[in-house]
Structure formats: C-alpha cells, structure tokens
Amino acid sequence: MDLRDSFRNATRAIFAAKMRSFLTMLGIIIGIAAVVMLMAVGNGTKQSILSRMQSSGSGNLYLTAGARSNVLMGGGGFGGGNRGGASAGAKITAEDLTYVEARVTYPIVVSPTNQTNITIKNGDTTMSGTGIFATPTYFEVENVTIANGRMISTSDIDNRTRNVVIGATVQTTLFPNESAVGQPIRINGASYKVVGVATAKGESMGSSVDTAIVLPFSVGEKSFGVVHNVIQRTTIKCVDPTQSLAVTTEITDILTRKHKKVDFSIQDVAAMTALVTSSMTILTTLLAAIGGLSLLVGGIGIMNIMLVSVTERTREIGIRKALGARERDILVQFLIESSLLSIAGGILGIAISVLGSDFIVSRFTTTSVTGSSILLAVGFSIAVGVFFGVYPARTAARMKPVDALRYE
C-alpha cells in the first residue's frame, strides 16, 4: 500500500465520523488559537512600547534630579522632580547643563524642559492639557515637527514672549474649523498667541505633545510658578546614537564630581529599548507556553479518540493484515489520520485566532499576529498529531491477525 492509499483510507475514516472528528479537533483548535492570540498580545504590546520609546529618538538620554532604583521608566515619566524615591533637595539647574555641555567630549544637543498642568480656552471651548516650557532645541531632540506656522525661537525665550506652539489635539479641539496660527488663546486665564501647530506624534516617554502647549522656557518662571533655575527633565540627544552609553558614563562622571554625590538619574533610550525587548520576549514566550497547555489537552484528546478508533476497527485491521498489509502500512495510516485531525484543527485555530485578534482583542489592547507565530502554531499542531498518534498507531500495527479477526 502506498501513501496515497493510506491518505485516502485515513480521510475516509475521518469523514465517516464527522462529529467525533470535529470534537477531537476542538482541543487543538482552542490550543492553537490560545497560543497565537497570546503571542499576538505579547508582540503587539512589545511593539507599542518600543514605538513610544523610540519615537523621541534612539540616541536620547533623559536626565532628572534624584537617584532612583526604577531606571526603566524614570520614576513615572516626564515629570522628573523629586518624586518616586528622589534624593531630598536634589535638583538639576541651568548651571549644571552649561557645566556638562562644556565638558562632554561627544557631540550632543541639550533640551531642558519643565511642565505643569494647564487649562486651555478658546471662546466657549475649554480643555485640560500640559504646558511644556522648552527651548528651541526641544523640537529637535524630541522629533517634534511643525505642521503649520513656526516653532518657539530664541527671541521668544530672551524676551519672554507669550507665543506658543499647540499640539494637534489642541488644534482640533479648540479650532476645529480654522487654522490656529495667529489666533489668540487663553492659558490659565492669560492671553497667548499661537505661532505654530505641531504634527500629531502620540505618546513618547510618558508625555504627549498632542495634548500639550509648548511655551518659551522663560515664561514658566514668570507666569506659572515654576521654581527658578530648577529643571525637571533634560533630554540629551547624542548626535551619534551609538555613543549613548559613552555619553551616559561621561555625564555621570561630570555631574558626580560637580555634586559630590549621585543625586540624579540618566535613562538611556537605547538601553531601555534593549531591556524592554528582552523582557517582552520572555513574557511572550511565557504566554505561548500557557497557551500550549491547551494543546497538551487537545493532544490527549486525539490519543484517546484514536485508541477508541483502533478498538472499533480491530476486525478491519485483522482482515487487512490477513490480506498482506504490513505493520508499516497500518502504522502510517493511523499516523496520517491523527496528523490530519491535528493539522485541520491547527488551521481552524489559526483562522479563529487571526479573526479574534483583529476584530475582538484589538479593541482592548494592541495585537500583532506575526508569521513566526503562525509557523510555530502549525509546527505545534503537526508535532501534537504525530506525537499523540504514535501509541494508538503502534497498537494497531502490532495486532496479530488471528486475534484481531476473533475480536467481537
């Protein structure tokens, strides 16, 4: 008997008991769907986190006051300040940044920023947002582009002008039917002029320019009560991203000598990206392993049904062996049968997982079904069919024709 005959016999046996075959595949369907969907959630979450981290530049460093144990996300995002375990009285000043810039041997761009919550109003429309007090270098180091108008200039800083750049969400909320450039806007009750609108960017490192207004750095101390000469967070862009580790080490040495202690934190986006990638890969693997438990249950179901099938077809096996069928022929037929059940279940499971990820799970979290996860699922389903089909197939193949023919 050749493989084509074995395949036809296996297919005929499966379709002879359609409902039983479907129920047998159900465990594989659920297992494969669980593996693919859990991996999709893990991969989607990893991509979402990495895209937010990298949107501000892979060579960026974030300098904040206070030594923290939580170096992954800087103790809560943008705010900096003396929070989340920061050393009491620690601060970064403009003099610190000037001192660092004069001594760092690598090409860098420094952008000091402060922020506060603000109320923004235009006519009868009011919204809450974030006021980011920045210098012109902010737009370069944070990769913020201007969709309309211009950015904050050096003269705005020097003259403390009330010119501002608004985020894309502020534009659509307060000026839905017209350009905001050149229009007056009220921030915390005071009048300012919009000179630019930033391109929509999304969240990056715990803050978003979309719902923010960028004001001249000097305005913060004058009108918003920002502490004089204290900088909440400084973004340092390495012109050559591959030098970020060396720059981090050098700045740490420079500030430690100046402050006589380590009362600051420097977060390296490149290092954080590598850490997140490693951590999320481990998490995705664990999620896949959890889903794989369902495959184990499905495999046991296949073995159970195949043993029942062997018992029901004992006389058929005896007749075939009496007519000259070899042990290998019987073994191959039952292995093909179990493999077909597993592969069919795997295909249905993949289809369900893709549809479920795209139309259901994606409503609650970011998902990403990758080709590697589908290939892994297919490989799993084939392996389960072969592994759990071996014992029933060997049982059938080793039957003695006389005993099989006597079976009632």
Taking all residues of the chain, what is their mean pLDDT, rounded to a whole number?
82
Confidence of residue 402 (pLDDT cuts 50, 70, 90): low
pLDDT tens track for 171-203: 999 999 899 999 999 999 999 999 999 999 876
What whole-number percentage of the chain has pLDDT above 70? 89
Contact by Cβ (8 Å): 59, 241: yes
CB burial class (10 A; 0-12, 13-18, 19+) of residue 291? buried
pLDDT at 121: 94
pLDDT at 182: 94
Give Cα separations from 212 to 50, 198, 350 (angstroms): 22, 10, 42
Mean pLDDT to the nearest integer, 135-142: 92
Confidence of residue 338 (pLDDT cuts 50, 70, 90): confident
pLDDT at 166: 95
Q: Specify the range with the lowest mean pLDDT, choosing from 78-87, 106-115, 188-197, 333-342.
A: 78-87
Q: Which residues contact 107 (CB under 8 A, 6 or more apart)?
A: 238, 239, 240
Residues 12, 386: Cα–Cα separation, whole Å: 19
Answer yes or no: is pLDDT of 407 > 70. Answer: no
Answer yes or no: is pLDDT of 358 > 50. Answer: yes
Mean pLDDT to the nearest integer, 27-32: 84
Residue 356 exposure: Cα atoms within 13 Å on the Cβ side: 18
CB burial class (10 A; 0-12, 13-18, 19+) of residue 244? buried
> Best-predicted range by mean pLDDT among 70-79, 123-132, 277-286?
123-132
pLDDT at 71: 40
Beta-bridged to residue 238, according to DSSP, are 108
pLDDT at 203: 66
pLDDT tens track for 32-78: 888 888 888 888 877 777 776 666 556 789 999 987 644 443 333 33
Rounded to the nearest 5°, which phi and psi values hold at 208? -135, 130
pLDDT at 88: 58
Residue 259, Cβ neighbours under 10 Å: how many?
Answer: 16
Residues 374, 157: Cα–Cα separation, whole Å: 54
Residue 309, Cβ neighbours under 10 Å: how many?
Answer: 21
Helix H or strand E segment including 245:
helix 244-259
For residues 276 and 355, which has the higher predicted lDDT (pLDDT)?
355
Contact by Cβ (8 Å): 384, 298: yes
pLDDT tens track for 302-319: 888 888 877 777 777 777
Answer yes or no: is pLDDT of 98 > 80. Answer: yes
pLDDT tens track for 388-397: 878 777 777 7
